Each structure stands twice: as structure tokens, then as C-alpha cells.
Structure 1
């Protein structure tokens, strides 16, 4: 690990100024991903600015919805009464991720900033455009079992690792950030990026901006009675998703009034299944409808040599998640 300086601050402005004035400085809170990257020499900051003492840990009602402090721990968020009652999809997704010990350290803001777990990204002996732009993508011709089937290109086929972010995308969350130019709001659907020509850039957050909160809108609370997070993985704990589905339905009289479907483990960002939502909205909540939505969604998937199974897995996962939602949202 490269030697680095360490600064702890209790003021947002000081933290933002320190990182903004040093291109090689990084914010650190729980550090559950950043420290691993530093140990493997993937990330080499020369200064860490500890923001864990900032007053950003609250979880409270805001404008009819719920605001999640960026520094609230994942475990505290998942188990908070407001989240469990109004946005159980978020609780389910968080509890499906990592281990209890990591959830006790990891923060909500840090969860948004997770970097891919692609083998080639972590192995500094291998080419990786995300780690070193212009060197190529080792996964294209390598072992690409865990890689993307949506939104990828020849630059990068890595996937985003977060479970929580998949649920946030399904619920139209808003990310609140603060930087030298003031505060701004970023819809979660626009927060993460597809690789494009800059696979090394994961998000639309400026490097000198600090995540302060995540807002769950009041309108999304309508899905509380019927939502479910399904995660398919190689083992039942402490494993990243091969395919996951966050599904939520608003059903009245057997008809679907509103639908939300997002997928994880399949793209460079949490993948909103917009076409599936169109099929579901106004349709009867039946197996035939769910199957049609799944077929339409997976029609655009592009597989590589070792991850072709994800297309059928994704199709079945969508149907299973939606079926579980109709059965009460508890598997």
C-alpha cells in the first residue's frame, strides 16, 4: 500500500476544500471498499479525509418521504422503522448485501460509490480500461462469467456491485450532494454511468462533491405492501449478485396501476427495466404478464462466452420476483 496522509474533520466545508485542492485526496467513511482497493494498489490516494464525524447520520421524514443520511450505517438504515415500514425494498436489498460486520461499518454514501468487483480491475497485472484507460479490457476475451449483459461496450463489460442502489433506482431516489459551487440534487437513475468512452468514470459526482443524503420520495411509499428484492448468487451470504431484481407493484382490483423493476449484476450501473414496466402497467397481475415483461426485458441482453446463463437467469428472476410481490412481498 502506498503511504498516505490522514486528516479527520468535523466540518463539511473543510472536507470539501481539502479534497478539492488535492487531485490525489479521497473522502473516507467506513472504508469497506476503498481500503481493499488501496491494499491492492488499484487506488493510490496520497491523502484520506475522514468524514465519519460529520453530522450526516440522521434518518428522518422529509417532504412526505424519508431522508437517509449519507453517513448512516447500512445496518442502521436497513433496520430503521421508517425504512422498514415505508420502503421495505431498501431494507431487503441492504440485508442481502455483504456481511453483518461490513453492514455495521459501510455507509449509505459509500454504498453508492462502490467500484466494480471485476477480477481484471483488481488484478494490476491485467489490462483494464477502468483502472488504466487505454490498456484494453481483459474480461472481453477472458473469464467473463460475472460480467455485464446490458449497456456494455468494447471499452468495459464490468458490473456495478451494489444491492442497495438497485432498490434505490426502482424507487426513484434522489442523491443530495454538496461541493464548492453549492448543493445539487442528482436523480439516482443519473448518478451512475455506463462505460461509454470513459469507463474509468463510475458516477456523475464531481470529485470535489460530497454526498450528504439520499431522499426516498413520498410517491414511492405506495409500493410498500408489494415489493421484493431477489438476489441470485453463488452462495447465500457475502457474495455479489450474478443477477438481482428489485420489483415493486401497485395493484388494485387485480390490475397493476404502477410498476417498478430494476436489475443488478447485469450492467455497469443498476439497470432500470423500463420496457418491463410498460408491459406491466395497466395489465393483470398474472404469470402470463410477468413472463411477457421478462421476455421483453431480456431481448436486449448481449452475453459473452461465460455469462450466457445470465439471460435465462434474468428472465426467470424477473418472473420469480414479480410473483413473490403478488404473494405479499415475502419469499
Structure 2
């Protein structure tokens, strides 16, 4: 279709249009919040979350058109947060892919109108084989709503589209509902950052979820001396290792202090190199526990202006990490 450029809007008008779109969608979300506070919706939402949490199979998400695109994102979010899920295209379902739905699965169908004919075969299949069907729709008396075991009745809102036609506000509500379900399932499953990393090993997100245990030096790589060691032997230990510091431990490998190259420079001119290290160590080394995220370890290092951090397990020295080790993971 040819566009008459003489009617093209000016930049300020575009800004006004953008603000109006945002305001319309915020109003839609406010409507969703109001609905969420009703006892009937709460009951349906609780049942939906419990069905998804208790299933021994997967959450099969389906939808057509724009609802389908939202469905794909919801399935992806569920997968990445510990709930096995996949998206099933209604058209493909009618041509053989219904076979991937098992009796242990839960089907979550998204249809704004509730009259999406392409979903019909999925509904019949769920009814025939006793598969739990959850439907999100704005029309609680629609065909889809009547077919559902659990209906999440969304508020009927105006689209941000000036013609009130293109799915905009409606898909925003669907997307937020998906996040509501996913976050509730995270809490229900006790899904932790460590669990999250299992599904996100790559990229900066993976780096942010990396534990210090996975970058620290261990065993023979740890610079350490006993309290009775001399300044001279501590200096040799620091030189042999690459951290610019050495831990000071007792006979049980419990961390009791740290001696850095800075400490050495400050005392070498005025002390005997045969002095015991226990006389010159810093008794409060900066430490983290095993399992601490690298991002948290880096924050602690920055706050304490140190470049080396020791990793302990109930006070026992188990590792050491340099700031460079953490930065190389791509966390910043």
C-alpha cells in the first residue's frame, strides 16, 4: 500500500503517540492487577500454578498468531527457570504433533478471543486423554474457556493500536501473565541462582552466575605458610605463586591471617627477615565462602580495596582468587 508522505507526522506527534501507547498499556496492566486481586482469579491462578508445579511431564504452551509468539516466549522462560516446557504450534498439532502431548503434561493455551479455531484439535485431544488444559482468554464464556479445566480470565482492555485492532495491550497482558506463572514456579520449586546457571552457562549472564569455586586456585596453587614461618619463607612463597600475597594458616589449615607484598615492602627495611610471619601478618583477611557468586566476590574485593580474596569452608582455607581471574570470566 502506498503511503501519502504529505500526511506524515512530525517528531513531537510521534512522541505523543509513544506516550499514549505506554499509558494505554499501563492502564491495561492496572486492570490486570485489579483482576488478580479478585478471589475467583486468585483461585484459578493458584490451581494453574499448582498444576504446572506438580506435573510429572511438561508444560505445553500453544497459541496462534501474536498469542503464539507470546507463547513461545513464555515456554522459553519456563524452560530457563526449571519448568520443562515447549511450544506447540496449533497448525502442526493438527498434522501429527499432537503425539508429543502425554497424559503427564499440562497444556497452557493462549487465545484472546477464546474462539481460535486452530486450537480446537488440541482441546479435543486434552479432553479425550484427560490432559489438564489451562486457558488464558479475555472471554470467559468462549469456546476455549468452556473447554478448559482451569480458565484464567484476563480483563478485556483496549488495544494501544488507534484502531483498537492490532494486538498490543492484549499481548502485553499475556506476556505479563506468563511472567507471573514463571516467577511463581521459581518460588514454588525453590529455584536458586546455581540452578539458573545450569541452564545459562554461556555469555555474560552465565559469567554473572559463575561461582568463585570455578575460578579459584586450589591445593598446591594456594600460597600459604604457617604462623611460625619466617618473613623470608613467606616472601619466597609469594614469589613462587602468582597472587602477590600469602595466606597464613594454623596446623589445621584454618585461615588466621594474610601477608601481602605491600606488607613486605612496609616492613622489610625495619625488620629481620627471620621474624615470624605471625608478627607481621594482617589478622583479618578478606574472605568469601565456597559457593559465593563471582559477582558478589568482586563487589567485596572492590569495597575492601583488595585484589586477592581467600575462599573458606567453615574457616578452613580451600581456595584463592585474584581479581583478574574473575574479570576474565566476562563478568564486567
Alignment TM class, shorter chain as reference:
under 0.3
TM-score by length of 2: 0.21
Compare CA radii of gyration and give the structure with the larger one: 2
**Higher strand content, 1 or 2:** 1
